[in-house]
Amino acid sequence: MMSGRPVRHTALSCLVVVVCAAGCHGWAGRDLLAAPLPDLSRVDAGVQAQVRGRYETLTRALADRADAPELASAFGQYGMVLQAAEFYDVAEPCYLNAQKLAPDEIRWPYYLAGLYKSRGETDKAEAAYKQALALRPDDLATLIWLGRLHLDQGRPEAAEPLFLKANSLAPRTVASGCA
């Protein structure tokens, strides 16, 4: 006899496939990108449990037609565990969906910038960090990461004003390079 949990998980997985098969069309009039469950066979059991847990939360939010902030959070949280497990190709659409659903939330472009940086896509990382700064111009972490990105690109003149601003916000922060 099967327990209710595996059947429910299967039903939720099927629902997300149906809901997202064509890119999650129709959620509150927005086109959302598909965010499937990746092959977890190469990661340990603890990571598998975390990814599956966030995926279930997302599928439930989609099934319940959650409001935009709740759905954005579900996509973003799923993207975060995927990024931590280095499933970048699935994490990216999660962050893009979260941004679309919560365009004033700094977390999603910030995490997306980190993802792009991890993949070596510096132009995309720079654009995403700038988007995060447009939302919160005094975000210390974003100022520092964008400054470091500029330094890595050999552009100290672009990094300097970011580090100066970071130093003015947090003068004793070593990461700003001005302690």
**Residue given tokens 């497990």 in the structure block:** 85
**Residue given tokens 């941004």 in the structure block:** 99
- Residue 55 forms part of a structural domain: yes
- pTM for the structure as a whole: 0.80
Greater confidence, 18 or 143? 143
Region 12-27: what's the mean pLDDT?
42
Exposed / middle / buried, residue 123 (Cβ in 10 Å: 0-12, 13-18, 19+): exposed
Query: Is the domain of 4 the same as that of 78?
Result: yes
- Residue 117 forms part of a structural domain: no
- Residue 111 forms part of a structural domain: no
Cα separation, 85 vs 42, in Å, equals 10
What was the pLDDT predicted at 169?
Answer: 92
Which CATH number goes with the domain that contains 55?
1.25.40
Looking at the predicted structure, is the pLDDT value of residue 2 above 90?
Answer: no
Q: Position 112: which residue type?
A: L
Query: Is the domain of 15 the same as that of 66?
Result: yes
Segment 78-112, tens digit of pLDDT: 999 999 999 999 999 999 999 999 999 999 999 99
Segment 104-147, tens digit of pLDDT: 999 999 999 999 999 999 999 999 999 999 999 999 999 999 99
Q: What percent of the chain has pLDDT over 90?
A: 77
Give the pLDDT band of residue 176 (cuts 50, 70, 90): low
Phi and psi at 27, nearest 5°, equal: -65, 110
